[in-house]
Structure 1
Amino acid sequence: MGYKQATPIQAQAIPHILESKDLIACAQTGTGKTAAFLVPTLSRISEAKYDFTSTLILVPTRELAKQIDDQVEGLSYFTGATSIAIYGGNNAQNWDQQKKALTSGADIIIATPGRLIAHMQMGYVKLDQLKYLILDEADKMLDMGFMDDLMKIISQLPKERQTLLFSATMPPKIRTFAKQILQEPEEISLSISKPAANIDQRIYLVYDSQKLKVLQHILKDAQIQTMILFTSRKNAVNDIVRSLQKMGFQAEGISSDRTQDEREATLQKFRNKQLQVLVATDVMSRGIDVDNISHVVNFDVPQDAEDYVHRIGRTARAGADGMAITFVNEQDQERLVKIEKLIERELPKLPLPEDVGEGPAFDPVGNSRRGGRGGRGTTPARRGGRPEGARGEGPRREGNRDRSQNRRRDGKPSGEKSAAPTTEGTTAPRPPKTEGQPQPPRAEGEEIKRKKKRRKKPANRKPAEGGQPTSPAATAAE
């Protein structure tokens, strides 16, 4: 399989695992964590020749479960060990296959927590003799809200077992979680939250409307073998794919909205180099191993700084070189500052191509004060927002009109406010109410409202006429 020399995480983890010690191992993505726990575990299984399920590997995503299952198949070829991947998003036939494998008892179960619990509730999953529990990408599982599911599964496992926890980051919640499930663990920490040194990281400060134009320049100029483009919004995946296809690039997308069969087919095309660009959400940011990805583009900045490290870790794997490009709009500049703080490095901000225009200035503090929109009152922010279409500018102008009306309301009927605060909100905006005493104008305003309502909805005629005293409140509610 091409393994000639142990990586640092493998060299340090394998001896502890063979000595049956619990382990917390933290290393950056792409360093060989999977083989670090599979190789010694398969060695133990082949020696012991268990006739029951001895190993449970819990992972956050379907793609990672499938990938580990494939690696087990390769590494265990001469050991006779069997494995099954248990994950959701399948049809009834796959459920039956999973049930059959769980009933017959595979040596290794690789599962996402939610799907495993669904099978466990049916009563045929037997983990009462389990020897090894492995949690891969543990930090991601907790981020995705699997804490309760994990504790539910672990509560049904034998207390006498070896537990291995592998993670790319080590936040406090992971340490708290580890104390609950591990016993006197050994610890390994290698380059926590640091991207590989051979990744060329670049930043473009852009307005949202400029992103596709800059991307087109990058794709035209760079020697791209294969590229993953990450977006934080799954509803943007299809739009970006269509834009790339119009530019003439072979592109497809992966998100949680697609079926598992579709996701696997797209990923296989990407692995076979049939696709030049894969557009994906963060389901592809953890543990997925595809050779020779030359570029990673962050179409938007991830919410968590650690996710930036995972995303760009898809390139420059196994000692190769790679490039990571990140588009940063006004409201994402604060996130960029957090990323630079995490990786302890200031990232270069490149100028935009001439025909793209000027991007926003790098002013994270100022943009934060202005509500993360690049400063509503500054000329560059408005200029940058316009090309995206009236959709972006319209609501802001409408909001400004509303604010000016509020000021007029506060100015003219200020005397009425204290007299009738409950109904003033429905009548103050109407000009007739500034004439005369407060009570008569309100009655006139309400009558006008009822007439309009009768014209629009004839069916409501009788209730409106019969319920005169209470109709203003109903109108206000509408």
Structure 2
Amino acid sequence: MLRYPAVEISKGPRTVPWGTPEVTLDVSDVESCTTTFWVRSAKKQFIHRLKRREREESEDSNEDDYVPYIPIKQRKKLKVRQAEKRLGRIGLLKEQEAGSTSEGTSEGGNEGEEDEGVNLGPKSKFSLLDQHSDLKRKAEARKETAREKILKEEEKILESVAEKKALMAVSELAKGIEYTDPIKTGWRAPGYILKKSEHEHEKVRKKYHILVEGEDKPAPLTAFREMKFPKPILHGLKKKGIQHPTPIQIQGIPAVLSGRDMIGIAFTGSGKTLVFTLPIIMFCLEQEKRLPFINNEGPYGLIICPSRELAKQTNEIIAEFCGYLEKDGFPPLRSALCIGGLPLNPQLEIIKRGVHIIVATPGRLMLMLEKKMFVLDICRYLVLDEADRMIDMGFEEDVRTIFSYFKGQRQTLLFSATMPKKIQNFARSALVKPVTVNVGRAGAASLDVIQEVEYVKQEAKIVYILECLQKTAPPVLVFAEKKQDVDAIHEYLLLKGVEAVAIHGGKDQEERTQSIDQFRKGDKDVLVATDVASKGLDFPDIKHVINYDMPEDIENYVHRIGRTGRCGKTGTATTFVNNGNDETVLLDLKHLLIEAKQKVPPFLAAKELENEKYLNIGGEAGCSYCGGLGHRIAECPKLEALQSKQVAGIGRRDYLANSSADY
């Protein structure tokens, strides 16, 4: 029995209290009451509470049949699913649900009873560990998608900058001539070497960290005697202090002697020059013994270098070993140096007597070929030293034109310490079944060089050079990017009493030659130079290299510091950097130091790249265009600068030896 508020209603002579439980009040009695305000209010309260009591009693009686509220959207889905089940399509729906990552299990609850139940969420039947694995898999898939996107973009960039013309003679392309087999030579490796299995050869390569790519890999030879060089050559090597071949020589010299086309990549100071100079001497000696060269005949071998100093150095090495052979009774071999800045007549006199080997820079070589001062009809041996610099920085047209002067198949050799994949792929268009010999990563710095990077403000650099000169004993090399900086440093050092000389592209050849000779002989303690002295020049006793400014690309940095720490000796390289340097080049420098296990200064370590996690994707680290480790090709400063120069029509850089003096 409900209790109602204690309200009294007056009806006739008696008073009825509402709050009494025993009282039963009929609605008609209330309606017949006096229509006063408080009576109407009591009536409304009574009716409202009566209805509420009836509703509560009805809910108590149907408590076991409770059905929760289902949203309209979910009800519509359930109706659709029921209709599709009646049409026999429920099997297809289950397959779609199994592959779906958003819907999860059945909307209605259990998998078996899709029409009933409550939706507990898409992951209600998966453990937290399974959900974690699923999320991790999705994240990896998104990551792979981002990497694939980057690789596709880089492929498009490489295609846009790739050379459309093959590195072949025009006549060969016109006639469709294609060489399928390498040149055959009379050289063979010793019998006991040939009897060894390929597994044994691989053990030798692995011991010396030699990577070889190509068909029919030649066997590596760990001694000069196994290479069958004459005694005068072996005597000359010992005289120069070379007792055993270096890794690039162990695999490279047998490959060249076998007549194979080759791409040789090794760090600076590893002896790449001997890999192509010794075999060419042996080939020319073989030709001279069979049939002596007559007037105006030759050359049999051609070596192209990007700078005059490198060409002069290579020619001196060839002349030295030819001298050893001649002293021992072998036929004399003649080599000619064809570079700009020197008179033509002395060079022509050697050629007129019959020349076996010509060492040249592209500018002077093009001039002499165009004027038909000599021909390449019998030339069968071509070397591009520092090949990536010539092909990549403006000489590719000259090199392609030089190829058109050949009348037959030739053995082509390309050498450099820095040769990105883009250059290797381009060069393979001119090679026949090439052998790629790689000692270390292309573009890596020599581990024998201690690299020190110091933050120095621009105005304090020239003064700080004097302090850096105290680190080691002479000789010391100082590199600067601009010719005017070279002259300023040279003048400052002379005023401070330092015995210094300088070279750059603005000086005449006689002064450049004299400066290098004085420095090499030890008459001068310091050589200040632009990048004209950074490519291939051999100064075996350099103790210290100072980079007055950071080069515009990391390849030049590798070549610069490679002037020290040569032939197994250790050296020091100090580089001045500041906020004026390009951010991308500094990131390349940071990752190069990490790769060489050198100390990274705090201001470099703090520099981070937004997409640094993508630096090593697609099986290749860093940039595929320039070889820098701190960026990808999309942010390559070298490519951007090259494209800007092509648009602006700016001439080639100083160290390319392409000034008018070359002609």
The alpha-carbon deviation at position 181 of structure 1 amounts to 1.6
Distance in 2 (alpha carbons) for counterparts of 1:345 and 1:132 = 36
Q: What residue is the counterpart of 2:503 in the other structure?
A: 254
Contact 2:452/2:573 (8 A) holds in 1: yes
- Which amino acid is 2:556 matched to? D
Q: Deviations over 1:319-371 (max 9, x none)?
A: 111100000021216212112324525754669xxxxxxxx8986579xxxxx
The alpha-carbon deviation at position 201 of structure 1 amounts to 0.8
The alpha-carbon deviation at position 103 of structure 1 amounts to 3.4
Q: Deviations over 1:102-149 (max 9, x none)?
A: 333310000111110101111221211111111111011124311000
Q: What residue is the counterpart of 1:84 in the other structure?
A: 336
Equivalent in 18, 23, 43 of residue 282 of structure 2:
43
Are positions 1:173 and 2:422 aligned together? yes
Contact 1:299/1:327 (8 A) holds in 2: yes
Contact 2:375/2:405 (8 A) holds in 1: no
The alpha-carbon deviation at position 257 of structure 1 amounts to 0.4
SS at match of 1:292: coil
Tell me, which stretches of 5 or more residues in structure 1 are unaligned? 352-359, 367-478
Equivalent in 174, 195, 210 of residue 460 of structure 2:
210
Distance in 2 (alpha carbons) for counterparts of 1:363 and 1:241 = 34
The alpha-carbon deviation at position 300 of structure 1 amounts to 0.4
Tell me, which stretches of 5 or more residues in structure 2 are unaligned? 1-238, 610-663
- Which amino acid is 1:81 matched to? L
Q: What residue is the counterpart of 1:231 in the other structure?
A: 480
SS at match of 2:472: coil
Distance in 2 (alpha carbons) for counterparts of 1:149 and 1:223 = 42
CA 100–180 in structure 1, closer or farther in 2 if over 3 Å, else same? farther
Contact 2:590/2:600 (8 A) holds in 1: no
Distance in 1 (alpha carbons) for counterparts of 2:493 and 2:483 = 16
4+ long deviations beyond 4 Å: 360-366
- Which amino acid is 1:86 matched to? C
Q: What residue is the counterpart of 2:587 in the other structure?
A: 337
Q: Deviations over 1:293-340 (max 9, x none)?
A: 000000000111111111001011111111000000212162121123
Are positions 1:197 and 2:447 aligned together? yes
Equivalent in 331, 355, 363 of residue 106 of structure 1:
355
Q: TM-score, normalised by structure 1?
A: 0.71
Distance in 2 (alpha carbons) for counterparts of 1:161 and 1:349 = 46
Contact 2:385/2:415 (8 A) holds in 1: yes
Are positions 1:139 and 2:388 aligned together? yes
Contact 1:333/1:363 (8 A) holds in 2: no
- Which amino acid is 1:6 matched to? P
Q: Deviations over 1:24-60 (max 9, x none)?
A: 1111111001111111221122122152310000110
SS at match of 2:581: helix
- Which amino acid is 1:72 matched to? I
Q: Deviations over 1:243-278 (max 9, x none)?
A: 111222111110000011100000000011111110
Distance in 2 (alpha carbons) for counterparts of 1:198 and 1:267 = 24
Equivalent in 237, 260, 272 of residue 33 of structure 1:
272
Distance in 1 (alpha carbons) for counterparts of 2:511 and 2:313 = 16
- Which amino acid is 2:454 matched to? Y
Distance in 2 (alpha carbons) for counterparts of 1:198 and 1:362 = 22
Aligned-residue sequence identity (percent) comes to 37
Contact 2:380/2:408 (8 A) holds in 1: no
Q: What residue is the counterpart of 1:275 in the other structure?
A: 524
Distance in 1 (alpha carbons) for counterparts of 2:351 and 2:484 = 35
5 Å-filtered alignment, 1:1-16, equals: 1-2=239-240, 3-16=242-255
Q: Deviations over 1:217-241 (max 9, x none)?
A: 222x323221000001112111011
Q: What residue is the counterpart of 2:548 in the other structure?
A: 299
Larger Rg: 2
5 Å-filtered alignment, 1:49-448, equals: 49=288, 51=293, 52-77=298-323, 78=325, 79=330, 80-90=332-342, 94-191=343-440, 192-219=442-469, 221-332=470-581, 334=583, 335-342=585-592, 344-345=595-596, 347-348=598-599
SS at match of 1:318: coil
Distance in 1 (alpha carbons) for counterparts of 2:381 and 2:545 = 35
Contact 2:380/2:409 (8 A) holds in 1: yes
CA 189–301 in structure 1, closer or farther in 2 if over 3 Å, else same? same
SS at match of 1:89: coil
- Which amino acid is 2:445 matched to? P
The alpha-carbon deviation at position 291 of structure 1 amounts to 2.3
The alpha-carbon deviation at position 12 of structure 1 amounts to 0.5
- Which amino acid is 2:278 matched to? V
Distance in 2 (alpha carbons) for counterparts of 1:100 and 1:45 = 19
Q: Which stretch of structure 1 is more off in the superposition, 42-51 or 77-86?
A: 42-51
Distance in 2 (alpha carbons) for counterparts of 1:144 and 1:284 = 16
Contact 1:296/1:325 (8 A) holds in 2: yes
Distance in 1 (alpha carbons) for counterparts of 2:606 and 2:508 = 41
CA 264–133 in structure 1, closer or farther in 2 if over 3 Å, else same? same
- Which amino acid is 1:162 matched to? Q
Q: Which stretch of structure 1 is more off in the superposition, 99-108 or 255-264?
A: 99-108
SS at match of 2:465: helix
CA 201–136 in structure 1, closer or farther in 2 if over 3 Å, else same? same
CA 44–261 in structure 1, closer or farther in 2 if over 3 Å, else same? same
SS at match of 2:546: strand
The alpha-carbon deviation at position 17 of structure 1 amounts to 1.1
Distance in 2 (alpha carbons) for counterparts of 1:244 and 1:349 = 29
Contact 2:262/2:435 (8 A) holds in 1: yes
Contact 1:83/1:106 (8 A) holds in 2: yes
Distance in 2 (alpha carbons) for counterparts of 1:252 and 1:123 = 38
Contact 1:204/1:349 (8 A) holds in 2: no
Distance in 2 (alpha carbons) for counterparts of 1:62 and 1:144 = 16
- Which amino acid is 2:432 matched to? Q
Distance in 2 (alpha carbons) for counterparts of 1:349 and 1:126 = 53
Question: Would you say how many aligned residue pairs link Structure 1 and Structure 2?
Answer: 354
Contact 1:211/1:327 (8 A) holds in 2: yes
Distance in 1 (alpha carbons) for counterparts of 2:477 and 2:395 = 26
SS at match of 1:332: coil
CA 248–60 in structure 1, closer or farther in 2 if over 3 Å, else same? same
Alignment root-mean-square deviation, CA: 2.0
- Which amino acid is 1:327 matched to? F
